[in-house]
Amino acid sequence: MRTFARRLTLPAAALVAALSLTACQSDGGRTTADPAPVTSATSKATHTTPPAGQPSGTASGTPSAEPTASGQDAKPAPQTTGKPAPKPSAKPHKPSSGTPVTATCTAANTKIVASRVSRPVNHLVLTVTNVGSRPCNALGAPSVGFDDPQAAIRVVEDSKPQAVVTLAPGESGYASLILTGEPGPDTNGRTIRTIRVYLTSDSGKTVTAPSGTFADDGAAVSYWQRTLEDALTY
């Protein structure tokens, strides 16, 4: 009986040992099949240090949109139209002749004529023409006297033009000569034969008055005007 029991005991022990070994091998195989634990290092995107000369935050040579290392955003290059901006002119505007006129119209470089007009009544017109070779300025109003006057007649101050009348060679200027003033007992009217016209204080000419010209102490003269129409408005 003891021998039979011992024979039964040994195979049972061997079976238990074999089962234990098989379980150990099964556990080892299962550990290799389990997934690797996830760590914080693998849960984040991998960042690599860029090579020298390439801004941080770029990949495969693509320029970064972030500010540069100096902290300033990249500024676009200024655009140009290809034409330089015009410079303001430093020279004053010159007349068409290119040279300002400084010469004065005098008895030496002009011709003066007194003519009758139909309108306005009791008016003559004085015409001054540049007969010289250079432009000249007919300054102010002519100083006018009749025959051998003791004083010049008055000037119509309202007729003063906005600019000096400049005459090129051959051009003419005009002044209105008002022969009579308001009627009255002391007008001292008379028929005149000559008219003394001064262009400057020391340069004048004596011109012949149209036949039958009558003037009185109310006579007056306008400033020199550019056109005949302007002169005859006074």
Separation CA 115–CA 172 (nearest Å): 14
- Cis link prior to 120 (omega < 30° from 0)? yes
CATH 1.10.286 fits 110-231, yes or no: no
Q: Is 45 helix (H, G, I), strand (E, B) or coil?
A: coil
Per-residue pLDDT of the chain (234 residues; tens, 9 = 90+): 444 444 444 454 454 444 454 444 444 444 444 444 444 434 444 444 444 544 444 444 444 444 444 444 444 444 544 444 444 333 333 445 567 888 999 999 999 999 999 899 999 999 999 999 999 999 999 999 999 877 899 999 999 999 999 999 999 999 999 999 866 556 688 899 999 999 998 889 999 999 999 999 999 999 999 999 999 999
Task: State which amino acid sits at residue 54.
Answer: Q
CA dihedral of 162, 166, 171, 176, whole degrees rounded to 10: 40
**Ramachandran angles phi, psi of 17, nearest 5°:** -65, -40
